[in-house]
Amino acid sequence: MEIGAPPPIAEKRSATRYRGDTPLSLSIHHEQEVASSNGRLVNISKTGLLFHSENGAPVGSRIQFRIPWPMRSTEIFAVNLNITGRVVRRQGNYTAVTIDHYDFEAA
């Protein structure tokens, strides 16, 4: 899926972001409802991430991601990056999330 460049938004980042074009799965927790969706990682840092999805999440929602983490060696098992956070900003199909917790697990 070609997503293009994210729309310009006011700079609010406190850490360097790194570009990513990786598929991800997400679960959105909002007002006692849980919705699952897929999207693509746009960029990520130690404090937050930006993703693109046709089904965005409302600001304030709790959100969980599973992102396949690229490995540099074929001898090392694949891992997933699991992230829990909350939506702080949304513009069109782009959603910004602050990271509250992350861990890695074997895929």
pLDDT digits (tens, 9 = 90+) for 37-86: 999 999 999 999 999 998 878 999 999 999 988 766 665 668 899 999 99
HEC profile of the chain:
CCCCCCCCCCCCCCCCCEEEEEEEEEEEEECCEEEEEEEEEEEECCCEEEEECCCCCCCCCEEEEEEEECCCCCCCCCEEEEEEEEEEEEECCEEEEEEEEEEEEEC
How do residues 74-87 score in pLDDT, each as one tens digit? 656 688 999 999 99
Tell me the CATH number for domain 19-106: 2.30.110.10
Domain boundaries along the sequence of the chain: 19-106
pTM: 0.79
